[in-house]
Structures are given as structure tokens and as C-alpha cells.
A = this chain, B = another copy of it.
Amino acid sequence: MSSRSTRYKPKSGWRRKWFTVIYEADTPGGKLFDIILLILILFSVLTVMLETVSFIKIKYGSTLLMIEWILTGFFTIEYILRLIITTRPGKYALSFMGVIDLLAIIPTYIAFFFAGSSYLLTIRALRLIRVFRILKLTRFIGEAQTLSLAMKNSRYKITVFMVSVTAIVTIIGTVLYMVEGPEHGFNSIPKSIYWAIVTLTTVGYGDISPQTALGQFIASIVMILGYAIIAVPTGIVSVEMNKAQKKNDFKTCPKCHNSYTPIDAHFCPECGTNIEEYEENKESEKA
């Protein structure tokens, strides 16, 4: 993130100086700015939350509203500054973080027209992702990439899984609707499907639950089924993570093709070949 955005760093002047502070976290100034920003974000999310707690609103309502306005003012200025000091404002405005930064200030202004929209300010929570910039950035990005690579690689398996689960849940919901009926809380098929999801995911609120013996028998089968089904996504992700991990740990020896050569080995543990030398020779042979 940091390395990518430096491409848009102004060559000189006050904009360059501010760019270092606002977009980067390597200088003391940049770090301080990011820490203050995070505290303000946390503080503003907390303000929005507390505003919905009735007894707090009655007592401190106007104070909270004032804080919200001041913070929104600050975030608005910050957003405009970000647009000004980069050489490619359009790029920032359309980036993931740019869109979130905008969404994090709009609701306050909309609240003039639609009361209640200010609750959407909790979207500011997403801005907390910036925390990774202050901490050792590269390491976290690496971990996040391992996670998202594992997720990406399993997308076909997960699609197969999700379509199957949707079909299963629809049919279970219908059967329970026919068995239990509206008199036991299974008012309609959509509501029965909601129950089936609540059960299969082992959430189990208990707001709707089968009352008849047959319904409870079917429900038992569904639960044990859910027991087995929950193992599937876990298995998928485990396998993919293992693979993503292994890619970082081993390479293949160019001579004996031993695929369990540690990634940073100079000599193959199987045949003892000096790997760098071998590859240089190979290249010179080609030439």
C-alpha cells in the first residue's frame, strides 16, 4: 500500500511534506498522524454507538452531536487534503480506502434530510484497517495475502458448497413447514428456511423450534448433517492455507528435482548440489 502510493508522491514543495505525513507512516510525523487518526476514528465510532443508548442520549445528547460534527469536520478536511496533495486525486478517490473515507463523512450531511442515517457513520470502523500501516506493515500485508490467497483459491470449491447448501436449506425448510405448520411458528416457507439456516449453522436461537415428534426427528437429522457439513469449509480453507504456506517454505532442486528443498537453501539436502552455481552453469550453457 505504502510502496504503491509513493508513485503518486509530489516531487517537492509543501504537498510533498504533507504527503509524507498523511499518506505514509515511516517518519515520526507520519506515525503520529496515523495514531491520532486511529484514536479519532475509534472515538467517533464510539460516539455514534453511545448516541443510540437512550439514557446516555437524554443526558449527553447535545454534547455527542457536537463531537460528531467536530469529528466529521476534521475528517472532511482530511479527505480534501488527501485529494489535494496526491498527484493523482482520481486514483485515490476511486480506491478502496478512498471510497470508505468518503462514505465515512457523507452520512452526517445526509442526516439533515433523513434522520437516522447518521448511524451509518459506524462504517468508519472499516477505516481502522489503517492500523496495519502503523504496525510492521509488510508482515501484516504478507499474512493478509496468505489469508486472501487461500480464500481466492478455494472460491470454486466454496461456490459448489454454497449452491449445495442453498438447495439443501430450501428443501429442509419446505419439509419442516409441511410437518410443523404455522401453528408451531413455521409461518411460511421463507421463515422455515430461516429456521433451517439457524439450525444447520448450529446458531440455534430457539425463537422457532420444532414441537411435533416428527419435526424433532427430522431436525435431529438436520443437526447431525450440519455437524458433518461444517467440516467441509474448514477442510477447504485448511488445505488451501497449507498449500499457500508450503509455497513459501520449499522450492525444487534444479538437479535432482527434490521438491522439499527449503526455500533459502544453498545446497540441495538430497544430492548436495550447490544450487546457485548449478543454475549459473545452466544459463551459461544455454548462452
Contacts and interface: CB of A to CB of B under 8 A. Distances in A.
B219 A194 contact: yes
A227 interface: yes
Q: Is the interface of A mostly helix, strand, loop or mixed?
A: helix
B256 A270 contact: yes
Interface of A: 45, 48-50, 52-54, 116, 119-120, 122-123, 125-126, 128-129, 131-132, 135, 139-140, 142-144, 146-147, 150, 156-167, 170-171, 173-174, 177-178, 182, 187-191, 193-194, 197-199, 201-207, 209, 213, 216-217, 219-220, 223-224, 226-228, 230-243, 245, 252, 256-272, 274
A86 to B, nearest CB: 25
Pick the 9 closest A-B CB pairs, nearest first: A265-B269, A267-B272, A203-B204, A205-B206, A125-B170, A235-B237, A206-B206, A52-B188, A231-B237
A243 to B, nearest CB: 7
A266 B262 contact: no
Contacts of A135: 159
A55 to B, nearest CB: 10
A231 B125 CA distance: 23
A262 B269 CA distance: 7
